[in-house]
């Protein structure tokens, strides 16, 4: 019997150096971040806790020191979801969006 299950984890992340440049030139307010969403498809076995997996992915990205994470979550599930509450707007360098709108479009559940 195959107990493996594929899930998606959404991570909104950015490059620390580029984000710092935008802030140092006063292009961005403190609550705006230069970042972009990505979806990771992962395979879970019955032995892996989704909450721990989402956190481990976020911590792994940030531990490299070059990137930061604004949000990480499994679409449609509140448990284990994490969002940097200081961020209100994200930008990809060309356009911007309210973080709540982006989160909602990726299936973020906050209540």
Instruction: List pLDDT tens digits, range 20-34.
Output: 998 998 888 999 999
Instruction: Evaluate whether residue 25 is within a structural domain.
Output: yes
In a domain, 110, yes or no: no
| 2 confidence band (pLDDT: 50, 70, 90) | low
Q: Taking all residues of the chain, what is their mean pLDDT, rounded to a whole number? A: 91
Residue 111 belongs to a domain:
no
Dihedrals phi, psi of 22, to nearest 5 degrees: -60, -40
Is 23 contained in some domain?
yes
Q: Is the pLDDT of residue 45 over 90?
A: no
**Could you tell me the residue range of the domain that residue 66 belongs to?**
5-105
**Per-residue pLDDT tens over the stretch 47-83:** 778 888 899 999 999 999 999 999 999 999 998 899 9
Tens digits of per-residue pLDDT, 95-108?
999 999 999 999 99
pLDDT of 89 higher than 60: yes
Tell me how far apart the alpha carbons of residues 57 and 24 are, in angstroms, rounded to a whole number. Answer: 28
Q: Report the domain count for the chain.
A: 1
| Burial grade of 1 (CB within 10 A; 0-12, 13-18, 19 or more) | exposed
Residue 100 belongs to some domain of the structure: yes
């Amino acid at each position: 019997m195959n107990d493996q299950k594929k899930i998606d984890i959404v991570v909104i992340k950015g490059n620390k150096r580029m984000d710092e440049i935008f802030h140092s030139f006063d292009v961005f307010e403190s609550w705006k971040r230069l970042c972009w969403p990505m979806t990771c498809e992962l395979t879970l076995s019955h032995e892996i806790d989704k909450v721990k997996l989402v956190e481990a992915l976020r911590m792994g990205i940030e531990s490299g020191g070059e990137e930061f994470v604004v949000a990480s979550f499994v679409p449609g599930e509140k448990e284990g979801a994490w969002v940097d509450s200081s961020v209100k707007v994200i930008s990809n360098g060309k356009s911007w969006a309210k973080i709540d709108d982006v989160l909602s479009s990726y299936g973020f559940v906050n209540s």
